[in-house]
């Protein structure tokens, strides 16, 4: 079964990271990718929320808004799509994703269509 693993974090903290801290975090993701590469189907980091656009249908027309629609402290910063036999296995795999003190991870099964 496929699972989407969504990575959330406080962008204001991440933007204050120096280059060495940022590179260390990226290296932790590389280590995760090497360890679980056979279970990772895809994954990418996302650009910062100010670069986002949100589309909504308003009175029958599409309206575009700057940034994400939801106002939260944590923003979606990236994702992995993994293959696991069960939610328990997905949680076990995701528990090894580098997670700072200012972030969280959400795991959701991908619907089979």
**pLDDT-derived band of residue 13, with 50, 70 and 90 as boundaries?**
confident
Which residue, among 100, 111, 105, 110, has the nearest Cα to 13 in the 3D structure?
100
Number of domains forming the structure of the chain:
1
pLDDT, one tens digit per residue, over 94-107 is 999 987 667 899 99
**Which residues form the domain of 59?**
2-109
In the predicted structure, residue 109 carries a pLDDT above the cut 80: yes
In the predicted structure, residue 55 carries a pLDDT above the cut 70: yes
In the predicted structure, residue 87 carries a pLDDT above the cut 70: yes
The DSSP string of 47-105 is: --GGG-EEEEEETTEEEEEES-SS--SSEEEEEEEEE-SSHHHHHHHHTTS---TTEEE
| CATH number (domain holding residue 53) | 3.30.70.1060
pLDDT, one tens digit per residue, over 65-84 is 888 766 677 889 999 999 99
pLDDT for res 94? 95
Residue owning tokens 């939801």: 70
pLDDT for res 12? 86
């Amino acid at each position: 079964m496929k699972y989407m693993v969504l990575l959330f974090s406080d962008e204001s903290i991440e933007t204050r990271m120096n280059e060495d801290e940022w590179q260390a975090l990226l290296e932790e993701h590389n280590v995760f990718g090497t360890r679980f590469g056979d279970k990772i189907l895809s994954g990418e980091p996302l650009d910062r929320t100010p670069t986002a656009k949100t589309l909504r249908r308003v009175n029958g027309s599409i309206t575009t808004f700057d940034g994400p629609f939801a106002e939260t402290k944590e923003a979606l910063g990236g994702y992995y799509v993994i293959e696991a036999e069960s939610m328990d296995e997905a949680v076990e795999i995701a528990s090894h994703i580098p997670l700072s003190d200012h972030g969280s991870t959400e795991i959701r099964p991908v619907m089979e269509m």
